[in-house]
Amino acid sequence: MGILNATPDSFSDGGQLATVDAALERAVHMVGDGADILDVGGESTRPGSEPVDVADEIDRVIPVIERLVAAIPDVPVSVDTRKAAVAAEALRAGASIVNDISAGRDPEMFDVVSQQGAGMVLMHMLGDPKTMQEDPVYDDVVDDVRAYLDGRVEAAVAAGVKRESLCVDPGIGFGKTLEHNLRLMKEVAEFLALGRPVLVGPSRKRFIGTLLDVEVEERMEGTAGAVAWLGAQGVHVVRVHDVKEMVRVVRVVDAIEKA
């Protein structure tokens, strides 16, 4: 899953895709490098970030989605949003997946996904982006996150979303300490037991910077290490900025696993 942030303030690439043309150019490169899904977001959810108005988020993502669907029709487009109103507009514009960091906390989100027959990623987040990193505490982070995601899958199905349309994400960096993130990745096979595809987004995140003492622009090798581990554990989708390099990592891991 290639990341396309149509935002001015995302932690890694905010402001780089200031126009629809720039977003399309990046997307074409990502698909050429091997991206299977393009994930378009219009709200930064980095730690401490403020929420974005619905209208502003729609204005950021809809022109990009419309252009991508028209220019690259064979590649699924995902909208990275926690707002049902944004998801509804994005699905009407041609997106086919809703990547929701709040796992359907908006009371209308499941109805929107169900009515449109869309796919959905349910992610675990402790609290909200503004406060999630202040003091994250769990009884057992793997057990707690797994139980939460299991509950959200059942809630989505009860609301009419098809079980086979759902994917789960343990939410690396969303209300987790370094130790929490490492345990979630080490034991990521626990989430496979939920019976749904698993998506993980380790790309350029703070835990890599902490481990290696590097800034965002120097986190590719650390991301590659995480991607290799996750692929070897059976994770189905990795959400990344550096598509070409991570596709190469995954291909080598797959070759070794299949040898």
Report, as residue numbers or ranges, the catalytic residues: 205, 239
Sequence-distant (6+) residues with CB within 8 A of 217 are: none
DSSP-derived letter for residue 123 is E
Look up residue 183 and give its two tokens: 């345990």
Give the closest residue to 56 by CA, choosing from 25, 86, 12: 86
CA 192 to chain centre: 17
Burial 216-229 (b: 16+ CB within 10 A, else e): eeebbebbbebbbb
What is the rounded end-to-end Cα distance, in angstroms, of the chain? Answer: 25
Q: Are 138 and 181 in contact (CB under 8 A)?
A: no
Q: Are 97 and 113 in contact (CB under 8 A)?
A: no
What is the rounded CA–CA span in Å between residue 241 and residue 239? 7
